[in-house]
Chain A
Amino acid sequence: MQVTMTVNGEEVTRDVEPRMLLVHFVRDELGLTGTHWGCDTSNCGTCVLWLDGEPVKSCTVLAAMAHGHSVRTVEDLEQGTVLDPVQEGFVREHGLQCGFCTPGMMMTARWLLDHNPDPSEAEIREAISGQLCRCTGYKNIVKAVRWAAEHRPIPAQATPDEMSAS
Chain B
Amino acid sequence: MQVPAPVEYERAASVDDALSLLERHGPDSRLIAGGHSLLPMMKLRLARPTVLIDINDLTDLSYVRLEQNELCVGAMTRHRDLLNSPLVVEHFPIMRDAERVIADPIVRNRGTVGGSLCQADPSEDLSAVFAAVKARAVIRSASGARTIPMDDFFQGPYSTAVGPAEILVELRVAIRPGCGSAYEKVERRVGDWAVTAAGASLWVEGGQIAQAGIGLAAVGAEHFRAPEAEASLVGSAPTEQAFRTASDLAAQHANPVSDQRGPADYKRHLVGELTIRALRRAAARATGQEG
Contact = CB atoms under 8 A, between A and B. Distances in A.
A132 B105 CA distance: 13
Interface stretch (A56-64, A78-86, A134-142, A149-157): A56-64
Interface string A62-100: 101101000000000000000000000000000000000
A20 B8 CA distance: 11
Contacts of A20: 3
A55 interface: yes
A144 interface: no
Contact of A54 (B7, B52, B109): B109
A79 to B, nearest CB: 24
B9 A57 contact: no
A40 B42 CA distance: 12
A80 to B, nearest CB: 28
A120 to B, nearest CB: 15
B105 A126 contact: yes
Contacts of A126: 105
A103 interface: no
Contacts of B66: none
Contact of A18 (B1, B2, B36, B52): B52
B7 A40 contact: no
A114 interface: no
A61 B35 contact: yes
B104 interface: yes
Contacts of B52: 18, 62
Contact of B110 (A60, A127, A131): A60
Interface in A1-53: 1, 17-21, 24, 40-42, 45, 48, 51
Contacts of B3: 19-21, 24
A106 to B, nearest CB: 13
A20 B5 CA distance: 10
Contact of B106 (A1, A21, A55, A62): A55
A40 B40 CA distance: 8
Contacts of A41: 2, 40, 43
Contacts of A57: 106-107, 110
Interface residues of B, number: 28
A19 B48 CA distance: 12
Contacts of A45: 104, 106
Interface string B89-109: 000000000000001111101
Interface in B175-202: 190-191
B56 interface: yes
B8 A18 contact: yes
A130 B43 contact: no
Contacts of A21: 3, 39
Interface of A: 1, 17-21, 24, 40-42, 45, 48, 51, 54-57, 60-62, 64-65, 67, 108, 126-127, 129-131
16 contacts: A1-B9, A18-B8, A19-B3, A21-B39, A40-B1, A41-B43, A54-B109, A55-B109, A56-B110, A57-B107, A60-B35, A60-B40, A65-B35, A129-B105, A129-B190, A130-B105
Given A18-B9, A127-B105, 13 more contacts: A18-B6, A24-B3, A40-B43, A41-B43, A48-B106, A57-B106, A57-B110, A61-B39, A64-B9, A65-B56, A108-B105, A129-B104, A130-B107
